[in-house]
Structure 1
C-alpha cells in the first residue's frame, strides 16, 4: 500500500471516529452534559456575577441572561464546543479528501458540504434524545467552525500558489 493511500486511510478512520464521537455526545441527555453544578462548585454565583458582561439576548426563543450566570457561562462554553467540534471535523474531512481528490476547490467544497450536512443530521438526531432539542441556530454555530477552517485552508492554498 502506498504511503499516500495509508495516510488517506488513517485520515478516513480518524474522521469516522470523530463523527462517531459527535454522535455519541449528541445521544447523551442534557442532564449528563449539564455543566452548571460543576461551575457552582468551582466559583460562587456572586463572584461570577462580577465578571460576566451584563448581556441579555434571545437564542432560538430562549432568554440567555447575565442574571443567571451559570447558565450564561455554560451557554458560551457549549457554543464554543460546537464551533470547535465542527472545525476539527472539517479539518479531518479536508485531510481525508486531499488524499484522494486533486482539486483543492473540490476538497474545500466537499469538506464544507459534508460538515454542514453532518451538523444538520446532528441537530435532527438530538430531537430524539430525552431532554435535548435540535436547533437550526446550532447548525449556524457549527458552520462558524466549518467556515473558519475552510478560510484557513483556502488562505494556505493561495499562499502556496504565490511562492
Structure 2
C-alpha cells in the first residue's frame, strides 16, 4: 500500500519503466508517427528553416534532404521522447529513493546510474524486437536526460530549502 509521498514517486518510476518496456516491444512500423505528421503538417511548416540543418547521428546523416521532411521532424520527436522519458524516470527514482538512501549524493549517483542501466537494457530489448535499431547514442541521450532531470530536481530542492530558511 502506498503510504508516503515518496512511494508515489517510486510508483511513477515503475509506470515509466512499463511504458518504456512496452514502447521498446513495438516495431518501428507500429510506432512511426510519419503518417500522422503528414496529415497534421501537410503544408510542411518551417521546411525552409529546417532544411538548413544537417548533422550525423549514429553514423547516419539527418536532414530534410536525406530523410525527407516528415522523417526529419519525427527524428526530433523520437529523440525528444528518449530524453524526456528518461528524465522523468530519473526524477521519479531520485525523489522516491531520497528518503530511503543515506546521503543525497549517493541517491543522485544511484538514480542516475540505475536509469542509465535501464536505458542500456532497453536498447538491448530493442535489439530483440524486429525492425528496431539499438543505438549506443540513444543510451547516451537517455543518460543525459536522466542527469538533467536529477540536476534540475536537486537545484529546485536546494532553492526551496533556502527559501524555507528565510
Band of TM-score, shorter chain: 0.7 to 0.9
Mapped contact 1:127–1:134 kept (Cα < 8 A) = yes
Match of 2:37 in 1: 39
Q: Deviations over 1:23-66 (max 9, x none)?
A: 00111110011111111111236555234241222211222112
Secondary structure in structure 1 of the residue aligned to 2:128: coil
Match of 2:136 in 1: 136
Secondary structure in structure 2 of the residue aligned to 1:72: helix
> Against the structure 1 CA distance between its residues 114 and 46, is the aligned structure 2 distance closer, same or farther, given a 3 Å change threshold?
closer
Please list every run of 5 or more consecutive structure 1 residues that lacks an aligned counterpart in the other structure: none
Is 1:50 aligned to 2:48, yes or no? Answer: yes
Secondary structure in structure 1 of the residue aligned to 2:100: coil
Secondary structure in structure 2 of the residue aligned to 1:64: strand
User: Take 1:46 and 1:21, find their aligned partners in 2: how far apart are those partners?
Assistant: 30
Secondary structure in structure 1 of the residue aligned to 2:130: coil
User: Take 2:46 and 2:30, find their aligned partners in 1: how far apart are those partners?
Assistant: 23
TM-score w.r.t. the length of structure 2 is 0.86
Mapped contact 1:116–1:139 kept (Cα < 8 A) = yes
> Against the structure 1 CA distance between its residues 9 and 43, is the aligned structure 2 distance closer, same or farther, given a 3 Å change threshold?
closer
Please list every run of 5 or more consecutive structure 2 residues that lacks an aligned counterpart in the other structure: none
Q: Paired residues, what number? A: 161
Higher alpha-carbon deviation: 79-88 or 150-159 = 150-159
Secondary structure in structure 1 of the residue aligned to 2:29: helix
